Structure 1
Amino acid sequence: MDMIADILTGFVAQMQKPTLAFLIGGMVLAACGSKLEIPEPVYKFIVFLLLMKVGLGAGISVREANLFELAVPAVAAAMVGIAIVLFGGQTLARLRGVTQMDAMATAGLFGAVSASTLAAGMAMLDEEGIAYEGFIGALYPFMDIAALVTAIVLARLSAERKAAAQISTQPGGAAVLAGGGGHGAGNAQMVRGILVDTFRSAAISALLLGLALGILARPDSVYESFYDILFRGLLSILMLIMGMEAWSRLSELRRVAHAYVAYGLLAPLVHGALGFAAGLLVHQMTGFSGGGVVLLAVMAASSSDISGPPTLRGALPEANPSAYVGTSTGLGTPVAILSIPLWIVLADMLIGV
């Protein structure tokens, strides 16, 4: 009972923090029918600055980081992203009303990383005075790209197999399949195209730019005098936007299978637990900090709200955006952010932070 009481007490305390308060405030405004709107260019600019802050901070830390200490959590992050897609895609595809394409798109979005959720996790750890590795931001693209590529490749291969099966049932189909020996080269080309598109996406581009500048240049002064100072204020505005967006997306879920509702509510907790377990393993191997374990869980629990949707729209046009975007933004993101206190309390109990 004491453990449950500690978790509940910590959770309630975190609800009063600015990050979660602004998220809930945005949801309340939208629920009340408020006409408040944040212009799209302002939203994109805020996201860009936040990603640059995360990338610069990670790059500055990577300069002095031990390569082994960085490589192990990076591999763990990629493996967690892939595991989420494999598990989530297979689980969703078995549920009534969910197509294989929509299942993989949704799993890919949940396997990828939300920049806003990661930023929220960092802000909450900073408020609590909990230390974490400065290179944590560098783990973002490992999990994000691994998940998106896995989801898109598996969805495309499944679609090709389905199309090939249909052709084989038609007169002359066997001859068509017999001449299709270039599938291996075609799949390799498709994977290369996905990687290129993912690296060119706005979110990954901004993050990698900040990472490169932090490693190769000396942006410490502008980082401390501009990006770091603005971080919390900009994050509060982003949380307000995310809250309003989350509420508006809930209506889209009425048009798709109820399975997505269950997935959106439960997946962030399951995925976060997977990321937390991976973080504990890295902690045992390298001395990974308790704050780092929390943020790995936060990244795993999150679902992409920036790089994922446009990447999936371009690579999987057959998938239903109301299903994967609605599930992610309407349910996955708020649940992931609201679960951050859980990972903090667990890390404190198991590791001490």
Structure 2
Amino acid sequence: MLDIIVQNLFSPVVLFFVLGLLASLFKSDLKIPNGLSEGLSIYLLIAIGIKGGIELSHYSIHSILEPILGTLLLGFSIPIFTVVILRFMKLDLYNAIGLAATYGSVSIVTYGAAISFLNYQQISYEGFMNALVVILESPAIFISLLLLNVLKKNQNHIRYSSQQIGIIANTTTHKWIDKEILRESLFGKSVLLLMGSLTIGVLLGEGALPTIKPLFIDLYSSVLILFLLNMGLIAGQRLPEIKSNGMKLLLFAILAPLIFGTFGVYVGSMVGLSLGGTTLMGVLAGSASYIAAPAALKTSVPEASPSIYIGLALGITFPFNLLFGIPLYFEMAKWIN
């Protein structure tokens, strides 16, 4: 276990993240231009989506139905658990919803780093796992916003009883969700690029490889290094904001990925995934979004503080998963399989 953690710590993607973090902490003038940062994000979203679509074209829907259902279970249950935990910790409703959407969604970069980790370990995984990344994005955002509207209208929302969960489950969504919320959840930049690239990959299949391989496959690991350098710079800038939010939230940002990641590993094993696939399912459940979810929260829940949901996701959970979480999920998957 220690050897795996050390190997992960000294991988290029992690070391460049640490380099960016140190540059930010020591007030270096190192900066990634905004245009390049946006371009790197778009590149990673397209690369993951189209590779997932090509792999998905090899499978029938029947053969991957159970992994899809397992992914949807994570997408719908993690936000509910998050809200319950944070309300128990006396966090206000809006910030609890912000963190529910953030931790229910997935970090594309953490997932990409996990793939690099598995490749380094020479561990194979199911090709359709990239498609599950896309599937996990929207449900968590959607259910979090639904919970917000339900709890705001329910005068007894502090009590999380089985009766209340039934009220939430039986509420007709058209009364609670407006068109703008649906648009942010389903057609935001991240979800749109992932879904669009995935669809293109499914339609074209192996025929797309000659065109996409030089850019989106051969250069993927190198582009990921540049992106993680930028993420290190941003994470360092967010650290002061995190300190002001108290130890309880800092503890949540570390324990949440362990709890949800363990849940993801268990679900992955139950739906019959391989060692590599089970590890990635743990990464999906244990990571937190700082791209898709914040984009939706910015307009849908302006009362939630970005310094909390982005600060915790990017400043604590992201480096924790990058340094320790991924090898931990791998060890859990080895044990449960």
TM-score, normalization by structure 1: 0.86
Does structure 2 conserve the Cα–Cα contact (< 8 Å) formed by 1:113 and 1:302?
A: yes
1:16 aligns with 2:4: no
> Which of the numbers 176, 199, 205 marks the counterpart of 2:192?
205
Residue 280 of structure 2 corresponds to residue 334 of structure 1 = no
Query: 2:283 aligns to what?
Result: 298
Q: 1:248 to 1:185 in 2, by over 3 A?
A: closer
How many Å apart are 1:148 and its aligned residue?
0.9
2:21 is aligned to 27
Q: Post-superposition shift, 1:252?
A: 1.0
1: CA distance, partners of 2:138 / 2:174: 20
* Structure 1 residue 93, shift from structure 2 partner: 1.1
Match of 1:343 in 2: 329
Tell me what 1:251 maps to. 240
Q: Does 1:319 align with 2:313?
A: no
* 1:87 match: 81
Using the TM superposition, give the Cα deviation of residue 186 of structure 1 relative to its aligned residue in structure 2, in angstroms.
5.1
Who is 2:175 aligned against? Answer: 187
* 2:71 paired residue among 33, 55, 77: 77
Equivalent residue, structure 1, for 2:263: 274
Paired residues for 1:63-142 under 5 Å: 63-96=57-90, 98-142=91-135
Match of 1:232 in 2: 221
Q: Does 1:149 align with 2:142?
A: yes
Q: How many residues align?
A: 321
Structure 2: which amino acid aligns with 1:347?
A: A
Deviation of 1:46 (Å): 0.9
Q: Is 2:250 aligned against 1:261?
A: yes
Q: CA deviation at 1:308?
A: 0.8
Residue identity matched to 1:116 = V
Partner of 1:318, secondary structure, is: coil
**TM-score, length-scaled by structure 2:** 0.90
**Residues 150 and 176, structure 2, Cα contact 8 Å, conserved in 1:** no
Report SS of the residue matched to 1:298: helix
Deviation (angstroms), 1:189:
4.4
TM superposition shift of 1:119: 1.0
Structure 2 distance, partners of 1:347, 1:209, is 31
2:167 aligns with: none
Question: Secondary structure, in 3 states, of the residue corresponding to 2:128?
Answer: helix
Superposed CA deviations along residues 207-249 of structure 1, whole A, max 9, x for unmatched, are 1121111111231112212210110011011111112211211
Give yes or no for contact 1:269–1:336 (8 Å, CA) kept in 2: no
Distance 1:62 1:250, change over 3 A: same
**Structure 1 pair 185/26, CA: closer, same or farther in 2 (3 Å)?**
closer
Residue 184 of structure 1 and its aligned partner are, at CA, apart by 5.1
1:52-77 CA deviation, whole Å, 9 max, x = no partner? 11111111111111323322111111
Change (3 A) 1:321 1:162: farther
Q: Note if contact 1:19-1:120 (Cα within 8 Å) is conserved in structure 2.
A: yes
- Structure 1, unaligned runs of 5 or more: 1-6, 165-182
Tell whether the 8 Å contact from 1:55 to 1:209 is kept in structure 2 after alignment.
yes
Given the alignment of the two structures, is residue 55 of structure 1 paired with residue 55 of structure 2, yes or no? no
**C-alpha contact 1:108 1:147 (8 A) present in aligned 2:** yes
Q: Which runs of 5 or more structure 2 residues have no equivalent in the other structure? A: 158-170
